């Protein structure tokens, strides 16, 4: 089963984007600011009006009977979500069951428990959101998405506010979810994370797909240098790559002049 776009365009923000994300894999969407990463993710979450092209779920164009059915399939974590009321972690996670409000109470309770333990939140279940650290909060918000038990996890910069250790821990949990057969699609701005943890990387620039494939071929030194306009070099072995960046190259300055 795959989640794919065919010649998808959204105004000027996305142009003719065709990509494919597979279940059981982590797909990373990368690109400089304003490349259209979040727009592409919300298209995959079926939350965005498109100009042309279509989103495919499996063999067929994505179409759901109701917003509720869509919510059961696609779990979406927006960028830097704020929580309006100071609810406890347990209550926050239980919001993920709203698309299943018709399901038996026992089933819902079990899903909430599973999500809480998958994110190691047992100790924090009664703590109000306002008293969580950044990392705990990110885990709680992720548990909310997991509680829905969707086929697909779509997260917009889930690591944005996390330090190194918490970020790595969250990536391990995404890997677990992928191994359980879910499709995981992440917008990532940290290229090293994408390089080391994703199975497939889509690089966007100015609304167009520049590269699409395994990280070693999609995030080559040339592509990173050209798209992010810096002289970049990968160090280390596959799986443990680090990005070394030098000052802007004369080539990139030339590129910018041409654009102007």
Partner 1 sequence: MTQLRLNLLLLLGLALVVPLSLLAGRVWINPLAPETHNASLILMHLRLPRAVLAVTLGAGLGLTGAAMQAYLRNPLADPGLFGIAPGAALGAVLSFWTGYAASPWLLPVFALLGASGAMLLLALIAGRGGGVALFTLAGLMVSSLAGALMSLAISLSPSPFAMTEIVTWMMGALADRSWREVWIAVPCTLAGATAIYAARRSLDALTLGEAAARSLGVDPLTLQLQIIAGVGLIIGSGVAVAGIIGFVGLMVPHLVRPLTDRRPSSLLVPSAIAGALLLLVADCLCRILPLASGELRLGIALSLLGTPFFLVLLLRMRKGLSW
Instruction: Summarize as ranges the residues that interact with partner 1 (CB under 8 A).
Output: 42, 45, 47, 66-72, 74-78, 81-88, 91-92, 95-96, 98-99, 101, 128-130, 141, 144, 148
Looking at the Cβ atoms of 81 and 181, the one nearer to partner 1 is 81
Looking at the Cβ atoms of 148 and 225, the one nearer to partner 1 is 148
Residue 165: CB minimum distance to partner 1, A: 26
Looking at the Cβ atoms of 84 and 258, the one nearer to partner 1 is 84
- Count, residues in the chain: 260
Strand duo 14-22 + 26-30: pairing: unpaired
Looking at the Cβ atoms of 153 and 209, the one nearer to partner 1 is 153
Looking at the Cβ atoms of 78 and 135, the one nearer to partner 1 is 78
Residue 18: CB minimum distance to partner 1, A: 23
Residue 42: CB minimum distance to partner 1, A: 7
Residue 84: CB minimum distance to partner 1, A: 4
Residue 127: CB minimum distance to partner 1, A: 12
Three state DSSP letters for the chain: CEEEEEEEEECCCEEEEEEEEECCCEEEEECCCCCCHHHHHHHHCCCCCCCEEEEEECCEECCCCCHHHHHHHEEEECCCCCCCCCCEHHHHHHHHHHHHCCCCHHHHHHHHHHHHHHCCCHHHCCCEHHHCCHHHHHHHHHHHHHHCCCCEEEEECCCCCCCHHHHHHHHHHHHHHHHCCCEEEEECCCHHHHHHHCCEEEEEECCEEEEEECHHHHCCHHHHHHHHCCEEEEECCCCCCEEEEECCCHHHHHHHHHHC
Looking at the Cβ atoms of 78 and 151, the one nearer to partner 1 is 78
Residue 148: CB minimum distance to partner 1, A: 8
Residue 67: CB minimum distance to partner 1, A: 4
Cα separation, 25 vs 86, in Å, equals: 34
Looking at the Cβ atoms of 32 and 100, the one nearer to partner 1 is 100
Residues 92, 83: contact at Cβ < 8 Å?
yes
């Amino acid at each position: 089963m795959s989640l794919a776009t065919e010649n998808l365009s959204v105004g000027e923000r996305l142009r003719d984007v065709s990509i494919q994300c597979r279940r059981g894999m982590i797909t990373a969407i990368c690109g400089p600011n304003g490349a259209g990463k979040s727009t592409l993710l919300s298209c995959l979450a079926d939350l965005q009006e498109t100009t042309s092209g279509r989103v495919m779920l499996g063999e067929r164009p994505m179409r759901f009977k109701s917003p509720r059915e869509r919510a059961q399939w696609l779990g979406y974590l927006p960028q830097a979500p704020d929580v309006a009321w100071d609810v406890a972690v347990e209550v926050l996670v239980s919001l993920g069951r709203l698309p299943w409000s018709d399901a038996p109470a026992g089933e819902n309770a079990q899903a909430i428990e599973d999500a809480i333990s998958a994110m190691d939140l047992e100790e924090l279940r009664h703590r109000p959101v306002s008293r969580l650290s950044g990392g705990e909060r990110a885990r709680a918000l992720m548990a909310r998405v997991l509680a829905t038990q969707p086929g697909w996890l779509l997260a917009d910069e889930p690591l944005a506010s996390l330090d190194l250790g918490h970020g790595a821990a969250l990536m391990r949990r995404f890997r677990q979810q992928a191994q359980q057969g879910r499709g995981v699609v992440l917008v990532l701005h940290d290229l090293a994370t994408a390089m080391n943890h994703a199975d497939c990387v889509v690089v966007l620039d100015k609304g167009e797909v520049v590269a699409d494939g395994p990280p070693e071929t999609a995030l080559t030194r040339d592509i990173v240098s050209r798209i992010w306009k810096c002289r970049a070099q990968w160090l280390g072995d596959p799986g443990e790559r680090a990005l070394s960046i030098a000052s802007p190259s004369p080539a990139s300055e030339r590129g910018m002049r041409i654009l102007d």
